[in-house]
Amino acid sequence: MLSKIAKTGLTRRTFLRSTAAATAVGALPRASLAADKVIKIGFLAPLTGAVAAWGKPGLDGCEIWAERVNAAGGVKLADGNYMVEFVAYDNEYDPAKARTGATKLIREDGVSFIMMLGGDTWPGVQPVADKTGMLFSTLLPSDLSPDTTTLIAPTEVHPVYVVTGVEWLAENKPELKTAVMCAQDDALGLPSVATYLAAFEAAGIEMLDEPLLFDPATTDFAPVVTRLISGNPDIVCLDTCYSDYVHPIAEQLFQQGFKGQIISATADFYDQMIAKTSEEFMEGFIFNFPDFDDPALNSDQINFDDPNGFFAEYNEKFPGQWGAVSWEYASIMDLWKAAAEKAGSAEPDAVITAMKDGKGKHAFGDADWWGKDLFGIDNALVGDWPVVAIESGKATIKEFRNMPAWYDKHGDLLIKHMKAYDQMWDQRS
Amino acid sequence: MDLLAQTGLNAVYAASYISLIAVGLVLIFGVMGVINFAHGELYMAGAYSVVLIYSDFQLPFMVAVAVGLLFVGCLGLLMERALFRPLKDNPLGGLVASIGFLMIMQALASMGFGVRMEHIPPVTQHVIEFSERVRLPLSRLYVIIAAVVLLTVLWVFLKKTRFGWALRAAAQDPEAAALQGISIKQTARIAMFIGAGLAGIAGALTAPLVSVNPHMGHSVIVTAFIVIIVGGVGSLEGAVIASVVYAIVHTFVTTFFDGVVADITGLSLMLLVLIVKPTGLFGSADRA
């Protein structure tokens, strides 16, 4: 980490000093706006532990979002303008801590909306959501069910978007005929396994083996990789493995001589993977989360404000920290702000009603509220999603593909595999 | 055949780093009678030594490993003096104190380095190719060689030197050893330095091969406890042999079934040993 900072001309000490200064500067607008009305937004996600890479970078992105929105006058409701302040609670990806955090954010902090990563932590929070009627968001629509109408998945449609990468591969690299897959055995890994299986089946790509599940506590991935590549597959699929797993698995694939195609939901900090392997090895690595300096994000269909500027500011403030979720929670806030301003209120019921009125402005283009078949409720905002490839050491958007269009053709396969892995909303306990 | 050979190499590597950690844990328990729950965090401290010295300051990897050994060995001395010695008359005191130390270490690592995994540049990308599908990266071979050398040196130290005899005597019967003029405090310090140092060097050597983060000690401490229970609590030979058995079983089951089944098999192995021979394969009844 520090070597990356050092490359930018900073030492650990100056980095800490500048971080402290940035924090102080960040606090200034809040202090100067103390007399203004404030809306508090809860950020309930893992900020420490193995899953922190899908929490902390999102909070960093939200701080940039808040600075921008507050500088532009805040959120404009019926009774005036409100400044936005984020209140974070580290749930450590633990359901019990997530429940405590949700209760604290609602009762003590008085937040108007709570953003979560979801997954294993959602069952802990669900009773709080049902009891209070608080509006929650998740990055994982597999948390959705008709039981909780105030849970929405407005940005990431995990794991449905992974079908786009497989579909793109099948069309652009038809010589790839066989695949294998590994995943951690948890609430993030299993629905993704089912979705990749459906996508491979739809694409006519044969699975050489059952998906290889590993314990989330695994540290040595050599045995996993040995097994994966023992049948000489054309494609190794890393499912939705956490970056703590994607990196050592990719390194093992490199060291054990794999020369085929790799596909993964994410490739956070892929520059470090390249450093551990080689640019040649990582060439063509397919995943689904772009860098926001990608020129393709400047097209008219994109609903994320100034993606290139956001990316530059993020990297300046948090060098080397950009990851899959850096923009996602900020994008959710765009939707929430638009809905709250439309409703003229931050009340959960009013916001969700306004949000679901017509098409939603998803970051990657206008999208529909969707999900009744898979999740029992149309609370996932689904439209286009990018297919990203690493080319010459840089993430590059290859194409945007439409998820509902894939589902219209292959939805039965997805439901079949989801049911086989007990991942349909009515199968989850 | 290639699959078997590659899995065998994977198992040898796993046995190497597990035995380094488990032997250190056993040594501390054998001499001091303390179950050191913070042993995984000593492993983590060794890994962060490499982050700081090798990755950040860009000094040679072997310098970072040596610093890891010395730094974590000194952490062990600190634990002995500040935690275990004052609580030596309290049966649960050391255990509880080590849990507290574990949390402090994790918090310090989070504050000092952040919560995300650290990127450590590869020490070497050279690979020994036995065939297209049987390969041993040099970075893993280093761990295997280091484990063999260190455990051999430890064995010679314990069996052939006066300090080693004193250590073994203190482990077998502290009161009788004290009556023979052996300093129990001195042996405790030596045991803590060596035990912690082994965990530190294991963390340092494997740091470029694993995800280095403040919580990385969790998984290794569970494995180490399984190994020392199977091998016999207090038995160094048992810890080494159980490490080899566990590594072979876990690696082969992961490869031929899956990782979740491998974890269940490892725990089942421990339960089986506890039922058939509660003192472990090489443990004695008075230490168990």
CB distance from B49 to chain A under 8 Å?
Answer: no
Alpha-carbon dihedral of residues B268, B274, B275, B279, nearest 10 degrees?
Answer: 160
Which ipTM was obtained for this model? 0.86
Q: Is the peptide bond before A159 cis (omega within 30 degrees of 0)?
A: yes
Q: A235-263 as b/e, with b when 16 or more CB fall inside 10 Å? A: bbbbbbbbbbbbbbbbbbbbbbebebbbb
Is the pLDDT reported for residue A21 higher than 60?
A: no
User: Is A49 within 8 Å of B3 when comparing Cβ atoms?
Assistant: no
Q: How far apart are CA B115 and CA A17, in angstroms?
A: 18
- Test mutation, A226, A230, A325, chain B, max B CBs within 10 A: A226
Sort out which chain B residues have CB atoms less than 8 A from A212's CB and list them: 258-259
Q: Using one digit for the tens of pLDDT, what is the confidence trace for B93-120? A: 888 999 999 999 998 998 888 777 788 9
| Binding-face residues of B in 53-92 toward A, CB within 8 A | 55-56, 58
- Test mutation, B52, B108, B117, chain A, max A CBs within 10 A: B117
Q: How far is CA B219 from the centre of its chain?
A: 12
What does the block give as tokens for A326?
A: 């850096």
Using CA atoms, how far residue A50 sits from A134, A216, B35, in Å, is 28, 9, 26
Q: How far apart are CA A74 and CA A39, in angstroms?
A: 9
Q: How far is CA B35 from the centre of its chain?
A: 13
Q: Using one digit for the tens of pLDDT, what is the confidence trace for A105-119? A: 999 999 999 999 998
Using CA atoms, how far residue B39 sits from A49, A405, B30, B255, in Å, is 18, 53, 14, 28
| Binding-face residues of B in 173-192 toward A, CB within 8 A | none
Region B6-33: mean pLDDT is: 94
The model's pTM: 0.84
Exposure on the CB side of residue A98, measured as CA atoms within 13 A: 27
> A428 vs chain B: nearest CA distance in angstroms?
20
Q: Say which residue the tokens 């999900």 belong to.
A: A371
What does the block give as tokens for B110?
A: 């989070």
What does the block give as tokens for A24?
A: 């102080």
The CB density around residue B153, as the number of other CB atoms within 10 Å, is 10
User: Is A248 within 8 Å of B263 when comparing Cβ atoms?
Assistant: no
Please spell the DSSP secondary structure of A121-133, one letter per residue. GHHHHHHHHHHH-
Q: How far is CA A277 from the centre of its chain?
A: 25
Q: How far apart are CA A180 and CA A174, in angstroms?
A: 16
CB distance from B243 to chain A under 8 Å?
Answer: no
- CA dihedral over A67, A71, A75, A81, signed as positive or negative: positive
Is the pLDDT reported for residue A28 higher than 70?
A: no
User: Is B260 within 8 Å of A243 when comparing Cβ atoms?
Assistant: no
Sort out which chain B residues have CB atoms less than 8 A from A215's CB and list them: 259-260, 262-263
Of the candidates B58, B211, B256, the beta carbon closest to that of A248 is on B211
pLDDT for the residue numbered B215 = 87
- CA dihedral over B106, B260, B227, B246, signed as positive or negative: negative
- Test mutation, B13, B20, B50, B116, chain A, max A CBs within 10 A: B116
Exposure on the CB side of residue B184, measured as CA atoms within 13 A: 18
The CB density around residue A412, as the number of other CB atoms within 10 Å, is 12
Q: Using one digit for the tens of pLDDT, what is the confidence trace for B132-168? A: 889 999 999 999 999 999 999 999 999 999 888 988 8
User: Is B117 within 8 Å of A243 when comparing Cβ atoms?
Assistant: yes
DSSP state of A73: T
Q: Using one digit for the tens of pLDDT, what is the confidence trace for A307-334? A: 999 999 999 999 888 888 999 999 999 9
User: Is B133 within 8 Å of A255 when comparing Cβ atoms?
Assistant: no
Of the candidates A48, A222, A278, the beta carbon closest to that of B13 is on A222
Is the pLDDT reported for residue B62 higher than 80?
A: yes
Using CA atoms, how far residue B53 sits from A244, B69, B71, in Å, is 22, 12, 12
CB distance from B114 to chain A under 8 Å?
Answer: yes
**Which residue type occupies B213?**
N
Residue length, chain A? Answer: 429
User: Is B251 within 8 Å of A56 when comparing Cβ atoms?
Assistant: no
Alpha helices, DSSP H only, in A79-221?
95-107, 122-132, 162-172, 189-203
CB distance from A370 to chain B under 8 Å?
Answer: no
Q: How confident is the model at residue B285 (pLDDT cuts 50, 70, 90)?
A: low
Burial (CB < 10 A; 0-12, 13-18, 19+), residue A224, is buried
Is the pLDDT reported for residue A228 higher than 60?
A: yes
| Residue B142 near residue B133 (C-beta atoms within 8 A) | no
> B112 vs chain A: nearest CA distance in angstroms?
10
| Residue B196 near residue B79 (C-beta atoms within 8 A) | yes
User: Is B260 within 8 Å of A276 when comparing Cβ atoms?
Assistant: no
| Residue A109 near residue A65 (C-beta atoms within 8 A) | no
Q: Using one digit for the tens of pLDDT, what is the confidence trace for A116-131? A: 999 889 999 999 999 9
Q: How far is CA A101 from the centre of its chain?
A: 20
Q: How confident is the model at residue B28 (pLDDT cuts 50, 70, 90)?
A: very high
Q: How far apart are CA A423 and CA A344, in angstroms?
A: 37
**Three-state DSSP string of A307-360:** HHHHHHHHHHHCCCCCCCCCCHHHHHHHHHHHHHHHHCCCCHHHHHHHHCCCCE
Q: How confident is the model at residue A54 (pLDDT cuts 50, 70, 90)?
A: confident
Q: Using one digit for the tens of pLDDT, what is the confidence trace for A251-305? A: 999 999 999 999 999 998 899 999 999 999 999 999 999 999 999 999 999 999 9
User: Is A214 within 8 Å of B258 when comparing Cβ atoms?
Assistant: yes
| Residue A339 near residue A112 (C-beta atoms within 8 A) | no
Nearest CA in chain A to B251: A223
User: Is B214 within 8 Å of A48 when comparing Cβ atoms?
Assistant: yes
CB distance from B41 to chain A under 8 Å?
Answer: no
| Residue B241 near residue B281 (C-beta atoms within 8 A) | yes
